[in-house]
Structure 1
């Protein structure tokens, strides 16, 4: 089973990675697809740098840096995994990777690094719940029950 795991650098996304790794260690035959979505370059960045390839390299490096702790966790547990860094709208890109990789489920944090949050789920989490054609499992913050 392939699991899509969005990684945005937040503690909660790392908890999602840890949860997926625990499933694999417990016996679920799985491959993790660790994905980071970078925002497209701003107009300011495009105007000042003038080099789309350089901007793409910067985005890829930032994404790989964000994925590094998740990759390390999967490697330490000997869990098969692939990495993807993509640029664009977060939900659209996650759905694109989901389809391209043939993932059968998503495991993600209930909130990410974004500033906009609904009462129960983050905006990306809510959109994935509504739009993903596969089951979505949410990992809650440690203190979620403290409210």
Structure 2
């Protein structure tokens, strides 16, 4: 049984599905829910594109706040929910939160990267599988090929 579930959101379809699964688990198990989003880092090269880095940073933070607020609004009233807005890289923020010992499940969406792309770019979920010790639930945005309509496509795993 889970008591405190941490879910990461970023406004993507993957994250929306992960949030729905986390809410369902929290609801059915009487668990508390924490929703985390990370403000994307504004690259220094933004200035070369004629965009003010400060303005872009303010815009991305405002957008992250909207994503977090919308996610919180989807949680039923009877589920206890807190929100976490961080300026750290999402993978570092999630590891830091997990290391507090408060959470017993981490839920996040999968970007569905192939093995080569994941190796080249790195993967938040792969990093977390290797740097955290709590169970993770990784939710795919789309059903895998061969899945039937309405068939569950959530995969859980532990290292």
Deviation at 1:99, TM superposition (A): 2.9
Residue 82 of structure 1 aligns to a residue whose secondary structure is: strand
Residue 78 of structure 2 aligns to a residue whose secondary structure is: coil
Alignment of 1:66-145 (within 5 A): 66-74=67-75, 76-100=76-100, 102-111=102-111, 117-119=113-115, 123-145=123-145
Moved over 3 A (4+): 44-51, 54-60, 118-122
d(CA) in 1 for partners of 2:19, 2:77: 11
Question: Which of the two has higher C-alpha Rg?
Answer: 2
d(CA) in 2 for partners of 1:126, 1:38: 20
User: Which of 4, 17, 20 is equivalent to 1:18?
Assistant: 20
d(CA) in 2 for partners of 1:65, 1:3: 21
Once the two structures are superposed, what CA deviation does each residue of 1:65-122 show, in whole Å capped at 9, x if it has no partner? 1123321111x3531111111113221111112334721110111227xxxx233977
- TM-score, normalised relative to structure 2: 0.71
Question: Any stretches of 5+ residues in structure 1 without a counterpart?
Answer: none
Deviation at 1:17, TM superposition (A): 0.9
- Give the equivalent residue in structure 2 for 1:63: 64
Please say if residues 7 and 67 of structure 1, whose CA atoms lie closer than 8 Å, have aligned partners that are also in contact. yes
Alignment RMSD: 2.9
Higher helix share: 1
- TM-score, normalised relative to structure 1: 0.76
Q: What count of residue pairs does the alignment treat as equivalent? A: 139
Greater relative contact order: 1 or 2 (C-alpha under 8 angstroms, separation 6 or more)? 1
Residue 93 of structure 1 aligns to a residue whose secondary structure is: helix
- Give the equivalent residue in structure 1 for 2:157: none
